[in-house]
Structures are given as structure tokens and as C-alpha cells.
Amino acid sequence: MRAYYFDNVPGDQRLPHDSQRPVSEETLKGLGILHWRIPIDTPGGWEPVIDDVARERGYKNRDTINVSKEGLGDLYEAKLKIFFEEHMHEDEEIRYILSGAGFFDIREHPSDEWIRVNILAGDLLVVPAGVYHRFTLDESNKIQALRLFKEEPKWTPHVRGVETEANPFRVEYVNSLKSVSVL
């Protein structure tokens, strides 16, 4: 995983858009973004490590998604557009990358700048509820990810807007940042 500020230069969203302004894991942690590096070829397998994280964080369900033309078929283009629209969820978004690569763009609060997180096979990323973000593939056009859920699998995006700013999960997230910055 590598994180940096998005350059905001128009062009293909799948390109790196690297501003050459790196973002540290500490900055990400301050925003509630968590990351583990669990190599696919971990001795004993990656599954027991993921199981431990799932138990620790209360994730009860999981599935696998294959975001590619082959995996999504006719829905491929439409799904990519939905994934790249700025949104938040009322649940954590947890992804362990099994193969391929992509970018999670995280909206930094309060600066409102985009932080681009390049995720690769072996990265486990947790995006808290209430965080504005978007996702895109890189130029390889494919990623396979294990998705973990606290309850039944669901993926409901709430597009950024006035109503979303008042969403209790968004309000709780923003308030959590204020309490962290005061300490």
C-alpha cells in the first residue's frame, strides 16, 4: 500500500494521479483508515491471519468480489461508475486484496483533499463508516478482493450531499475526528 495526495489532473481515473506528496500511515490512522500487510504467500496461509482480524473486529460474514470485465460481465462499466462516485457507507468497508490492484480515494477531513491509496495483493484496508471515498481499478482493469462484513453482506452507497452530511454515521465520524484532534 502506498498513499499520497491525488493530483486532481484531468484524465483516466485508473492512472496513478500521484502529486508526489506522500501521506503517512499515521495520517491515515488519524482519519480512521487502517491497513495491514498480509502477504498472499504468508507461511501457514493468509486465511488464519484474516480470521484473527475478523474475530478481533467483529466481522461475521465475508464474500469475494471479482471486479473485472470477466467477473462483472455486462455490469462492468456501470459498476465502475458507481464505485468512483464519491460516497460513504453506514458500515466499515473492509477489503483484503487477493489479486490485482486498484485505488481507494479517501476524502481527508477537514481539508477536503483526496488521498489516493494504492492497494495491491496482500493489503487489508478498513475504511470507517461515514468516510467519503471512491474506488477505481488501476490500468490492469482487475482486482479480486475478500470483503468482510460485521453483519449480513450489504453495500449501500450514500452519495455525498446535504442529506449525507446529516447522516448519523457521517456526523459520528466527523465528531470522532474532533475528539482525536483535541487530545
| pTM assigned to the model | 0.93
Q: Domain range for residue 19?
A: 2-182
- Rounded Cα distance between 156 and 88, Å, is 8
Render pLDDT for 123-143 as a digit per residue (tens, 0 to 9): 999 999 999 999 999 999 999
pLDDT of residue 151: 85
Render pLDDT for 47-91 as a digit per residue (tens, 0 to 9): 999 999 999 999 999 999 999 999 999 999 999 999 999 999 999
Mean pLDDT of the chain: 94
Q: Is the pLDDT of residue 155 over 80?
A: no
SS (H, E, C) the chain: CEEEEECCCCCCCCCCCEEEEECCHHHHHHCCCEEEECCCCCCCCCHHHHHHHHHHHCCCEEEEEEECHHHHHHHHHHHHHHHHCCEECCCCEEEEEEEEEEEEEEECCCCCCEEEEEEECCEEEEECCCCCEEEEECCCCCEEEEEEECCCCCCCCEECCHHHHCCHHHHHHHHHHHHHHHC
pLDDT of residue 178: 82
CATH number at residue 111: 2.60.120.10
Q: Which of 17-21, 39-43, 77-81, 149-153 has the lowest mean pLDDT?
A: 149-153
| CB atoms inside a 10 Å sphere around CB 54 | 19
pLDDT of residue 27: 97
Q: Please give the average per-residue pLDDT across 109-134, as a whole number.
A: 97
pLDDT of residue 128: 96
- Rounded Cα distance between 94 and 62, Å, is 10
pLDDT of residue 181: 52
Q: Please give the average per-residue pLDDT across 144-163, as a whole number.
A: 90
Cα–Cα separations (whole angstroms), residue 140 to 9, 79, 169: 20, 16, 34
Render pLDDT for 164-183 as a digit per residue (tens, 0 to 9): 999 999 999 999 998 665 44
Q: Give me the number of domains the chain comprises.
A: 1
Q: Which residues contact 44 (CB under 8 A, 6 or more apart)?
A: none
